[in-house]
Amino acid sequence: MCSPCRSFVKATDAPPRAGPSSSEPRVRRSDRRPPATTITPLLAMTLALARAMPSGARVSARCWSGPMLHSTRPAASRIAMGARPLSSWTDVPMGPADPILGLTQEFNADKNPKKVSLGVGAYRDGAGKPFVLDCVRAAEADIVSSKMNKEYLGIVGLPEFIGHSVKLMLGPDAMSGGNVAAVQTLSGTGGCRLVGEFYSRFLGKDTPIYMPNPTWANHKNIFRDAGLSVQSYRYWDPKSLGLDLEGMLADIKAMPAKSVLLLHACAHNPTGVDPTMDQWKQISDAVAAKEDCYVFFDAAYQGFASGDPERDAGAVRLFLERGHKMALCQSFAKNFGLYGERVGCLSMICADADEAKRVESQLKILIRPMYSNPPVHGARIVSKVLGDEALTKQWRGECKGMADRIISMRTALRSKLEGLGSKHSWQHVTDQIGMFCYSGLTEEQVLKLRSEYAIYITNDGRISMAGVTESNVDYLAESMVKVTG
């Protein structure tokens, strides 16, 4: 018996286990090993020994024939077979499922052969399949053939990508004054979180940020977790199924000084309702009348909304020309189909080049402990496309093709709803723009669509028009009429 075991046995008055006598039949080791879940006296003694021995002590395999002691690892690190591991997280509650990703899981589990997924905001082709742009394929092939390295990017990201991104939204001369502090981000979500952290640090914790009601569901999570006070302004008018401009302007007027105003650059998510350019001018006037109002544009659909990137940049460029205190987040998930590459850009418009350098330095300080530096592959693709005249032309054409298909599905859905004799007006289906249609369906009607017809849309009635195709639009219209009357 080894020294640690002798000390333990002496302290506990437990006699060492005797081996079998010569008169006893010998039992094979495998036969006498207790089941893994059985707590035998030997196993109990083993566990007690492991707890009692000092850290680093070792038990010889020759001391006991029990399988639990056949180890030369430190005693405190051994875990008995069949014993349930201890946890420090017993008080952690189960979190709720994400309302959109959870909907996808529910759809995947549905066995109905007619099921239709219209929840996730990802473009699908006419056959309902994921779509990769040809210009992206071409750019990617060129990148691969050039055998570029996989080294880390700098903290701010790929400089060429940043330059092309800023010019795409703000115009070709946007970088000439040196007053734009811009960094590559982890798509739109990462850009929103980064600017939220910047506002929280330099405008102060609990700075109010006003966002439209409704807005993209993740906006609230992002800015709340960044330490801002999430507020809302009126946007959607449930009676007209359009923009509540009067309510919006009144709420902007009532905002306190040093508030942040979040605006959707185009293709408002989830409503698909965008202000006209005349209405944007009124919104700009209301902001200009405020003291220290900081405007933040979230742009996830440039080119994808109308099919024209210049038109979709109209509101942002108007605010830029009028000299508003402005920041801009761009995502290239939708308009380039780079959902999984996480490609985005955050730009902050500054008074001059010196201010831009200081702002950029602080963005770098925020980025470094957050994710250190962004991924390179998707940024190279966007940079390659926007840096090549032929590929840019091809991208514009493909982007318009995606937008046109969605517009045609809006027209088809409205036509079929009206053709089925629905008692409701469906004009808003074609009045809205972009990936989503805010249908006006109640939550009760949405749940009925899901349970009886296996049509999956979000509980607020938002339909992802990218998932509507020639093969399912009839079934969708018929089902909507049945639940709405």
Query: Which of 331, 323, 374, 371 has the alpha carbon at shortest distance from 350?
Result: 323
CA distance 459 to 442: 8
Choose the catalytic residue: 244, 251, 298, 312: 298
* Direct distance between the N- and C-terminal alpha carbons of the chain, in angstroms, rounded to an integer: 85
Choose the catalytic residue: 64, 216, 236, 395: 216
Catalytic annotation present for 395: no
Assigned token pair, 453: 């017809």
Catalytic annotation present for 285: no
CA distance 481 to 426: 11
Catalytic annotation present for 298: yes
Choose the catalytic residue: 334, 384, 395, 416: 334
Residues annotated catalytic, as ranges: 216, 298, 334
